[in-house]
Amino acid sequence: MSPRSSVMDSTEPPAPVRNAKLNLAESGRWVWTQLTSMRTALILLLLLAIAAIPGSLLPQRAADPNGVTQYFSANPDLAPVLDKFQLFDVYTSAWFSAIYLLLFVSLIGCVIPRTKHHWDALRQQPPRTPSRLDRLPGFTEREFSGVAPEAALSAADRVLRAARYRVVRYERDGVLSVSAERGYLRETGNLIFHFALVGVLITVGLGGGFAYNGQRVIVEGQAFSNTLIAYDSFSPGRFFSDSALQPFNITLNSFTTRYEERNANAIGQPIDYTADVTTTLRGGDPTPAVIKVNQPLNIGGTSVYLLGNGYAPVITVRNAAGQVIFNDAVAFLPQDKNFTSVGIIKLPDGLPTQLGLVGFFYPTVSTGHSGASFSMYPDLLDPMVTLNVYQGDLGINEGLPKSVYALDTSGMTKLTGTKTDLPSLEMKPGETAALPNGMGSVTFDSVKKYVSLDVHHDPAQGWVLGFAIMAMLGLFTSLLIPRRRMWVSIQPVEKTKKLLVEYAALARGDDPTLEAAVGHIVDAHIRDLGLTRD
Amino acid sequence: MTDALSQYSVLSLYSAMAVYAIAFVLFTIDLATKASEGRVSAKFSRIAFALTWVAFALQLAATVMRGFAASRVPWANMYEFAMTGTLMITAVFLLTNLKWNLRFLGAFITGIVLILLGLAATRYYVEVVPLQPALQSYWLVIHVFVATLATGFFALGFSLSVLQLMQQRREVAVVNGTKTRLTSLGRLPDAVALENFAYRLIIIGFILWTFTLIAGAIWADKAWGRYWGWDTKEVWTFIIWVLYAGYIHARATRGWRGTRSAVLALIGFGAVMFNFTVVNIFFKGLHAYSGL
Ligand code: HEM
C-alpha cells in the first residue's frame, strides 16, 4: 500500500517465465527487466566494490609503473599470470569496465521509466482520500463544536498549503476531505542524483580523451614554452591534438625553500616551497606569478603544478688549452630527504676522448664513519660536488635518444674514485679540480635550484565537478526531504451536533517525523479555526 | 611552551582513556544484565553515560591542546587522526542521545574508541611537527574533518546493526520458543526499530562521505595535479562509498532488508576501519602523510 513500493515494484522483475518457446523479443525483454531491477543494481554495486580491491593490493601501471617493474622482477613466475588477468591495469581492465558499464546501463534503464513516472505524478492531483483513515500512521480524531464543515475544510486547505502541501478537496457520501501531498523534491533529487552519476562517468571519460599531461624541469633563470618538444615527458589523451597546447611561456625567476629550524623533532623538515615565475600568454604582457605545492598556476585553461625540486650545480669544463667546452647548470636528482643528489654530465666533444662525469651533490656535506660522504641537511650550508670520471664511448652517436639523467658506464673506463688510482674530484663552490691525464679542468661555479613542473590540461574537469556537485545536492534532497501524504476528513455527527475531524498521513520511504508532522497540522488547524486545544 | 602543552595533551588523553574504560565496564554490565534486574543496571547506564561526557571533555581538551601545540588543526598524522576521529565518534554518540535514547550503544562506542586510542597512543605516538607543504591547505581542514565526522555516524550505524542482528536472533528464538542467551536485549528496541535508527545515521554518514570523496578529489587536483588517480586511499574511499550505496539499495530491495542490509552495514564499517588502519599503515601510496 505504501506509495514507495509502487515505484520500486515497477523495477522488480516479474517471475521469470520458463517457457521453451520464449521468443527473441520476450527473452530480450526478460533480460532487460532483470538488468534494470533493483536487485541487479545491488549485486553490481557489490561486485564493483570487490573488483576495486585488487588495484589497491598490486601496483598499477598508471599510478606506479616502477612498482610494476619491481613486482615483475620479484615474482617472475606469478607476475605474467596476474598480468594476463589485467591485474596491473585493474581500473581500465575489461572486467572492471564491464561491471561499471553494466551498472550504468542498469542505472539508465531504471531511471528513465522512473523519470516518466515522476513526471506524471508531478502533474497529477493527490489521490482520493482513503475511506478509512484510522489504520494509517499518525491517525488523530478531534471533535469541534460551532464550526461549519466548509469553514473547517477551507481552514485545513489553508494550513496544509502553508505547510507547502499540494492540496485537493474531495467529497464522498457527505464526508468532506482534503488530500494533500508534499516532498516531490525527494524523488526529483533521487533522479537528479542518478543522472548526475551518468554525467560524471561521461565527462570523466571524455575529459581523459582530450586531456594532456606533461613534465618539465626548469632551472632558475630558465624559461619553458608550452610546446611538445619542450617537455621531458608527455602523455596525451586519445583525442589530443597539438592545438590543445596553449601558447604560453614560464620563466623561473627564483625558487625558495624554508626548512624547520627550531622544532627539535623536525629539524630540516620542509615547511614551504615557493616558485616565483613570470608568465607570458601569447600576445599578453609578462605577468609575475607564484606556484606553490597546494597552489597551482592557472594559465590559458591549463594548470601548472609544482611537483618536485632539487639542486643544479653550475659546472664549467675546460680542455687542456683552457677553452670552455661545457658550461651549464646540471639538474641533480635528489636521493634522500637531505638532498644527497646524483647527476650526470656528458662531454662528447672538445676533449681527446669522450668523457662522462657521474657526480654527487651534497647541500650540507658530512662524512660518515666509513668515510663516505652524505648530506646532513637539505639547505645550502656547506655544499660540495664530487665527480667520478669515465672515459670511453658515451653511446650518443647512434642517434638513439638517451636520458640526460643516466649514463651507461658498461663500455667505459673509470678514471677516478673507488677502485682507481685517483680520488674523485671534490669541489666546493668556486673551486676547480684537474681532470686526469692533464685533459683539462672542472670548475664548480655556483649552485642554482630547479623545479619540476607538471602541466595538466583537462577541458572536461569543470563539467565533472559540476555533475559531482549536482549529485551531492540531489543526494541531499532525496535523503533528507520527507515525501508524505496527509488527509483531513470532516463529517458532521448527527447525535452530538459536533464536527468529527480526522487526520492521518502516509510516508514514502523512511520518515521518522511523520507523526510529529500530523501533530503540527492538527495544532495549526485548531489555531486557524480560532479554537483552543481541548 | 609547545612541549609543555603537548605533554598536558598526552596526560589529558590518558585520563580520558581511563574514564572511557570505566564507562565501558559499566555499559557492558548494563547491556548484559537481564531485564528483571533492570533497576541496578539502569543506574549503571546513567553513570556510564555521564562518565562518557567526562571522558569526552578530557579528550576534547587533549585534542585542542595538541592543536595549539602544533599551531594547526590536530589531524595531520596517524596519532592525531585517531585522536580526532574517536573524538568525533563519541561526539556523534553523545549528540544523538540528545534526540533519541541510544545509551545502550555505549559499550560499543566506548569499546571502539578505547581500542583505537590505545593503539594510537602506544604504537603511533609522534611528537608535534609542522605541516609539510603538501598538507598546507584548507582542504586538510575540511576534507579530513568531514571524513572523521562521517566515521562517527558510520560507527553508530555499525553498533546499531550489530545489535539489530543479535535482537533478530533473540526474536526468532522467542517466536520458536527456544532458549537464548540474549534475553537481556528484551529491554532494547525491536530489530526493526534498530534497523531504522541505523539507516537514519548511516545516510547522514553517507552524505558526509560523498562530500569527503568530492572534496578529496578537488584537493588531489590542487596538490597532485589530477583529481582522481586510483591511489590506494582513493580506492578504499571509493569502495566504502559503493558499499554504503549498496546498503541503501539493499534497504529498498525486497529480500534484502533486515539481516542482509545489516551485514552490509557491518562490511561497510569494516572497510572504514580497514581504510583507517591497514591502508594507512601498510599500503604505499601518495597519502603517505600519516607520519609513521
Ligand atoms: C552507479 C550506480 C548507483 C549508485 C552509486 C546509486 C546510488 C544511490 C544512492 C546513494 C541512493 C540513495 C539516495 C537517493 O535516494 O537518491 C540511491 C537510491 C536509489 N537508487 Fe540508486 N544508485 C545506483 C544505481 C541504481 C540503479 C541501477 C537503480 C535501479 C535499478 C537504482 C535505483 C535506486 C532507487 C529506486 C533508489 C531509491 C531507494 C529508496 O527509496 O530508498 N540505483 N541510489
User: Mean of the pLDDT values across residues A75-79?
Assistant: 94
Q: Does A361 reside within a domain?
A: yes
Confidence band for B117, pLDDT divided at 50, 70 and 90:
very high
Residue A111 has pLDDT above 70, yes or no: yes
pLDDT reported for residue A1 = 30
Q: Is A188 in the pocket of ligand 1 (CB under 6 A)?
A: no
Higher confidence at residue B126 or residue B109? B109
Does residue A444 sit in the same domain as residue A493? no
**Spatial contact of A392 and A353, defined as CB atoms under 8 Å apart:** yes
Task: State whether the beta carbon of A190 lies less than 6 angstroms from ligand 1.
Answer: yes
- Counting residues of chain A whose pLDDT is more than 90, the rounded percentage is 64
A324 touching chain B per CB within 8 A:
no
Residue A476 lies inside a defined structural domain of this protein: no
CB-based contact B236 A56, cutoff 8 Å: yes
CATH number at residue A157: 3.30.310.80
Average pLDDT over residues A331-349: 92
Residues A328 and A359 in one domain: yes
Q: Report yes or no: B282 at the A interface, CB cutoff 8 Å.
A: no
A chain contacts of residue B235, beta-carbon cutoff 8 Å: 52-53, 55-56
Q: How far apart are CA B248 and CA B242, in angstroms?
A: 10
Q: Which three cell numbers stand for residue A401?
A: 635518444
Each residue's pLDDT tens digit, B136-193: 889 889 999 999 999 999 999 999 999 999 999 999 998 988 888 777 888 889 999 9
pLDDT over 80 (residue A4): no
**How many domains, in total, are found in chain A?**
3
Q: Which residue, A380, A378, A384, is CA-closest to A266?
A: A378
B125 touches chain A (CB under 8 A): no
The DSSP element (H or E) to which A54 belongs, if any, is helix A54-57
User: Does some domain include residue A102?
Assistant: yes
Q: Does A256 lie in the same domain as A313?
A: yes
Mean pLDDT of A270-275: 92
pTM above 0.80, yes or no: yes
What one-letter code names the amino acid at B11? L
* Residue A245 belongs to a domain: yes
The Cα angle at residue A513 between residues A509 and A517, in degrees rounded to 5 = 110
Integer CA distances (angstroms), B194 to B32, B151, B172, B197, B245, in order:
18, 19, 15, 5, 19
Q: Are residues A243 and A344 in the same domain?
A: yes
A228 and A362 co-located in one domain? yes
Judged by average pLDDT, the poorest of A4-18, A51-65, A112-126, A312-326 is A4-18
> Is residue A368 within 8 Å of residue A386, measured between CB atoms?
no
CB A214, CB A458: distance < 8 Å: no
Q: Which residues of A touch B225 (CB under 8 A)?
A: 213, 296, 303, 305, 307, 454, 456
Q: Nearest by CB to B256, which of A42, A270, A296?
A: A42
Q: Does any domain span residue A204?
A: no
Q: What is the mean pLDDT of chain A?
A: 89
Mutate to test the interface with A, among B71, B132, B269 (most CBs of A within 10 A): B132
Domain contains A202? no
Q: Which residues, at least 6 apart from B91, have a Cβ–Cβ distance to it below 8 Å?
A: B56, B152
Domain end marker among A89, A119, A149: A119
Residues of B in contact with A60 (CB under 8 A): 230
Which of A63, A472, A512 is closest, CB to CB, to B231?
A: A63
**Alpha carbon distance A439, A390 (integer Å):** 13
Of A87, A119, A151, the residue that ends a domain is A119
Say whether pLDDT at A398 is over 70.
no
* Chain B from 244 to 273: CB within 8 A of any A CB: 245-246, 249-256, 264
Cell numbers for A170: 474531495
- Phi/psi at A234 (nearest 5 deg)? -150, 130
Q: Which residue has the higher pLDDT, A411 or A191?
A: A191
Q: Of A119, A143, A167, which closes a domain?
A: A119
State whether the beta carbon of A509 lies less than 6 angstroms from ligand 1: yes
Of A270, A273, A296, Cβ closest to residue B222: A296
| Alpha carbon distances (Å) from A160 to A155, A182, A302, B136, B211 | 9, 9, 53, 51, 34
A309 and A425 share one domain: yes
* B199 close contact with A: CB closer than 8 A: yes
- Predicted confidence (pLDDT) at residue B115 exceeds the cutoff of 90: yes
Domain span including residue B195: 131-282
Looking at the fold, whether A94 and A167 belong to one and the same domain comes out as no
Phi and psi at residue B45, in whole multiples of 5°?
A: -65, -40
Q: Are residues A262 and A366 in the same domain?
A: yes
Across residues A102-119, what is the average pLDDT? 94
Position B173 in a domain? yes
Residue A388 shares a structural domain with residue A508: no
The residue range of the domain holding A114 is 25-119
3-state SS assignment for residue B237: helix
Q: What number of other Cβ atoms are within 10 A of residue A34's Cβ? A: 14
Q: Is the CB–ligand 1 distance for residue A99 below 6 Å? A: no
Binding-face residues of A in 64-83 toward B, CB within 8 A? 67
Question: pLDDT tens for residues B78-106?
Answer: 899 999 999 999 999 999 999 999 999 99
Helix axes B259-274, B191-224, angle to 10 degrees: 30
Q: Answer yes or no: is B251 within a domain.
A: yes
Question: Are A270 and A258 a contacting pair, CB within 8 Å?
Answer: yes
Residue A30 lies in a domain: yes
Residue A304 DSSP SS3 = strand
- Residue located nearest, by CA, to atom 20 of ligand 1: B249
User: How many helical (H) and strand (E) elements, i.e. helices and strands, does chain A have?
Assistant: 11, 24
Q: What DSSP string runs through A421-479?
A: SBPPEEE-TT-EEEPGGG-EEEEEEEEEEEEEEEEEE-TTHHHHHHHHHHHHHHHHHHH
SS3 (DSSP) at A326: strand
B156 CA to chain A: closest CA distance, Å?
17
pLDDT of residue B34: 61
Structural domains counted in chain B: 1
Q: Quick one: pLDDT at residue A20?
A: 55
What's the A52 CA to ligand 1 centre distance in angstroms?
A: 20
Split at pLDDT 50, 70, 90, the class of A270 is confident
Q: Are residues A154 and A93 in the same domain?
A: no
Angle (deg, nearest 10), helices A94-123 and A38-52: 150
Nearest to A215 by CA among A280, A302, A305, A289: A305
Same domain, A312 and A407: yes
Q: Considering the domain boundaries, does residue B94 fall inside one?
A: no
**Residue B141 covered by a domain:** yes
A267 with A327, same domain: the answer is: yes
In a domain, A3, yes or no: no
Say if the Cβ atoms of B230 and A63 lie within 8 Å.
yes
Q: SS3 letters for A67-111?
A: HHHHHHHHCCCHHHHHHHCCCCCHHHCHHHHHHHHHHHHHHHHHH
Residue A146 has pLDDT above 50, yes or no: yes
Residue B201 maps to a domain: yes
Specify the residue for cell string 643516466. Answer: A406
Confirm whether B191 is domain-assigned: yes
Ligand 1 pocket, mutate which of A96, A194, A197, A510 (most atoms under 8 A from CB): A194
